[in-house]
Copies of this chain bind each other. A is one copy, B any other.
Amino acid sequence: MLEPVGTDIKIGEGAKKMDKEEASRGHGDYVHDIENDGVEDESAGIGRYWSELSDKTNASTKPLLVKRTNTTSQIAIVGSNLFPIESLDYEIFDNQIFKQDWRSRTKVQILQYLTLKWGFAFLIGLGSGLVGFFNSFAVENIAGFKLILTISLMSESRYVEAFVAYAGVNICLAAAAAALCAFIAPAAAGSGIPEVKAYLNGVDAHTILAPSTLCVKIFGSILGVSAGFVVGKEGPMVHTGACIASLLGQGGSRKYGLTWNWLRYFKNDRDRRDMITCGAAAGVAAAFRAPVGGVLFALEEAASWWRSALLWRTFFTTAVVAIVSRVAIGFCSTGKCGLFGEGGLIMYEVSSASATYSATDILAVIILGIIAGILGSLYNYLVDKVVRTYSIINEKGAAFKISLVVIIAILTSSCYYFLPWIANCTPCPSDVTVSCPSLDNSGEYRRFQCPPGYYNDLASLFLNTNDDAIRNLFSPKITKEFHISSLFIYFVTIFFLGIITYGIAIPSGLFIPVILAGAGYGRLIGRLFEPITKLDRGLFALLGAASFLGGTMRMTVSICVILLELTNDLLLLPLVMLVLLVSKTVADNFNKGVYDQILKIKGLPYMEAHAEPYMRTLVTRDVLSGPLITFFGIEKVRDILHALTTTGHNGFPVIDEPPISDSPELCGLVLRSHLLVLLKEKIFSRDKNLVDQSTLQRISALDFGKAGSGKGIKVEDLDIEDEEMDLYVDLHPITNASPYTVIETMSLAKAAILFRQHGLRHMCVVPKSQGRPPIVGILTRHDFMPEHVLGLYPNIDSHKWQ
């Protein structure tokens, strides 16, 4: 075991000035822990105290390769692009200035805050609801007209022109979506759910919630879905909801002139996180018209942190979404929205009146779940491989990105258009109420190449929007039948198209591909199991979709409720629950959920809810690394400036010494951003005195509000004169006097859970015994990452302690 570093450093040795060259040579045994880091070492040196690896994530813009073993990436690969990331801090920052501000709040201000909080929840719901409506409206119209064009050309037997029209429109739409992503907001590519999940875990990738990302996400998603890709709008809607929330929470966007100064109460990570949680819920609620499902999705999948007050606010947000959706559907059902508005509020209504089942039915369902679990984990495995491959291609430039999208568009169009030719023609049902073959956009019976009076069942699946294909697959047997061969072709095609489509540079949700593949799979299994079960095949399709969702996303309650709200069939609940349990259990043996995998690929340092078992054998001081840099309660400007310029640390412990205190004691923690405010405002004094109230009047709590993502004062913005360098700064007013502390012998597992549950950015490690410096190190997110810990202790058996 490594000897704990830093324990033999004496407090109060006085500053030993080092120039940058000297510092950059590293410091013997302290630096070995971070020497593989590639980013930090050259800036870690400062003479006096040594930082035991404080927060480094905001430190550099030097890109890292995806394959890094021994450290966390400071730069995440998001949407196949490199972005700086930053840790968030959900702690209540308990310094004098904030306390003063909090105490002086008037009733009116509190009321204003509460009103804004609920007003924002309302606006998030309203915004998400409207975007969801706009998205459906646009997709249904664009894709609908495309399909009508294709079908009408085909009905005149102009097959080549039909393909050219079909593929041409798809390629144009796809290229437009890709161009938006490539040139305007690369962060808008992909699902967005992993990034939102990371944000709510405490990792902010800067551009991920920017207004430009929001715009591209909305329009890119419409274009992408309309282009016939096997992608959904759900992930993008979650991301959109989060962006809307972030836009409001950051006090608008200065870049686009959308700012409101009266939003100062929300200038902290805590309130923003709550709003973004609401936004994620609103996104699901808008995408699926599933308000309760949205709340549960936010709770189960998106959020790392929860409290009942938030449940209540999230619920309000999704209620607003539900009402907006309802009004919009009501408005459109009268035909005012073009091709949109026929479906009603329930997206895939299932009405399987018979809901009795026997033991063999349950056996069939269990087998369905087991296979789906295996296929689901295979799906995740392949998505992982594909995304890794694509990110290499996408890194080469915008042209590569767009080309990749176009290639996949051509492939998708070809599959959709040419595969139905294999299928046999089926005579139209004798029921006169159905129009067969159907010519409208959401046709259940596509004639395709068949003679009049016949229809092509495979075309009815392929030549439709994704939503209509799902509706067809869920329809009960009496309405509609699909051949086994058609279902098999459909399932295999969608399964692989879904995999190769995720990772291209367009906004792409994963829900719909999984539901499509699952519904195809379920209906196929239903047909194959005909001899042993009497369950309806539409029901099998629904169970297949549920099992695939369980197998890939590994959610449970939220999927259940979302499916309930999508299909409005409560009687199926026990079977849906059963199949979800089986598929999730099977799939969990192979790999992790798809979003967790993508998080990992993107290099986002996500903290798991549980600690790794081997962490129970370590204590906190075992993972401390790097030099610890501390400040005195009253510190020289020069030393502060030196620490800020030569390190990337975001938090520094403050130590009081005699005469200010009787003995050396930990005063608290200061943040880089707060130090910068103090330096910028030049709250200096000539002597080592505590700052007086009149000087402090020059700054207010507002100045210390957390700036928007990636904004705020930088060291380069400071303008400190040479003669000011030897003045003093009193750090007490900005020192968080209640930092979270753990004792150095605290189990690392417990510390990790503490860190995660409180959404911390820095955690102070204090010594166990007397006569030592009052702080021995600072733990950050980085220090809990398995890569870091296993890097320090390569001989630990990471698998033994399950």
Contacts and interface: CB of A to CB of B under 8 A. Distances in A.
Interface in A310-352: 311-312, 315-316, 318-319, 322-323, 326, 330, 345-346
A435 interface: no
A738 interface: yes
A694 interface: no
A396 interface: no
A801 interface: yes
B291 A747 contact: no
Given A319-B578, A556-B311, A565-B570, A666 B292 contact: no
A749 interface: yes
A62 interface: no
A589 to B, nearest CB: 12
Nearest to A356: B330
Nearest to A567: B570
A299 B312 CA distance: 13
A663 B771 CA distance: 8
A441 to B, nearest CB: 25
A573 interface: yes
A600 to B, nearest CB: 17
Given A745-B738, A766-B743, A570 B346 contact: yes
Interface in A396-421: none
A254 interface: no
B322 A666 contact: no
A151 interface: no
Nearest to A305: B757
Contact of A92 (B92, B102, B619, B749): B749
A741 B738 contact: no
A557 B292 contact: yes
Given A564-B570, A570-B565, A581 B770 contact: no
A560 interface: yes
A322 B570 CA distance: 12
A723 to B, nearest CB: 35
B766 A581 contact: no
Interface string A650-667: 000000000001111110
A661 B746 CA distance: 17
A183 B609 CA distance: 46
A630 B126 CA distance: 58
B571 A345 contact: yes
A712 B583 CA distance: 42
A300 B292 contact: no
Contacts of A35: none
A363 interface: no
A665 B574 contact: no
A188 B518 CA distance: 47
Contacts of A584: 312
A801 B769 contact: no
Copies per assembly: 2
Nearest to A324: B574
Contacts of A110: 802
Contact of A738 (B345, B565, B750): B750
Contact of A560 (B292, B573, B616, B665): B292
A313 to B, nearest CB: 10
A316 B316 CA distance: 28
A628 B757 CA distance: 30
A352 to B, nearest CB: 13
A173 to B, nearest CB: 33
A306 interface: yes
A577 B757 contact: no
Interface string A768-781: 11110010000000
B319 A577 contact: yes
Given A330-B356, A578-B319, A742-B741, A770 B663 contact: yes
Contact of A664 (B99, B747, B754, B769): B769
Contacts of A316: 581
Contacts of A312: 556, 584
Interface in A277-326: 291-292, 295-296, 299-300, 306-309, 311-312, 315-316, 318-319, 322-323, 326
Nearest to A656: B769
A679 interface: no
Please tell me the size bucket of the interface on A.
35 or more
A610 interface: yes
A517 interface: no
Nearest to A110: B802
A770 B768 contact: no
A610 B310 CA distance: 12
A438 interface: no
Interface string A522-534: 0000000000000
A561 interface: yes
A395 to B, nearest CB: 33
A707 interface: no
Given A330-B356, A766-B743, A103 B801 contact: yes
A584 B556 CA distance: 28
Nearest to A319: B577
A118 to B, nearest CB: 9
A315 B102 contact: no
Nearest to A767: B665
A606 to B, nearest CB: 13
Nearest to A577: B319
A769 B319 contact: no
A155 interface: no
Contacts of A749: 92
A82 B55 CA distance: 52
A307 B92 contact: no
Interface in A747-802: 747, 749-750, 753-754, 757-758, 766, 768-771, 774, 801-802
A640 to B, nearest CB: 23
Contacts of A107: 802
A215 interface: no
Interface in A103-128: 103, 107, 110
Contacts of A619: 738
Given A662-B771, A740-B750, A741-B766, 20 more contacts: A92-B749, A103-B617, A292-B557, A299-B299, A307-B610, A308-B609, A309-B609, A311-B557, A312-B556, A319-B581, A322-B577, A323-B574, A326-B574, A565-B573, A568-B570, A568-B571, A663-B769, A663-B771, A753-B758, A769-B774
16 contacts: A92-B749, A92-B750, A296-B296, A296-B557, A306-B306, A307-B609, A309-B609, A322-B574, A323-B578, A330-B356, A661-B769, A663-B770, A737-B745, A740-B750, A757-B757, A770-B771
Interface of A: 92, 94, 99, 102-103, 107, 110, 291-292, 295-296, 299-300, 306-309, 311-312, 315-316, 318-319, 322-323, 326, 330, 345-346, 356, 556-557, 560-561, 564-565, 568, 570-571, 573-574, 577-578, 581, 584, 609-610, 616-617, 619, 661-666, 737-743, 745-747, 749-750, 753-754, 757-758, 766, 768-771, 774, 801-802
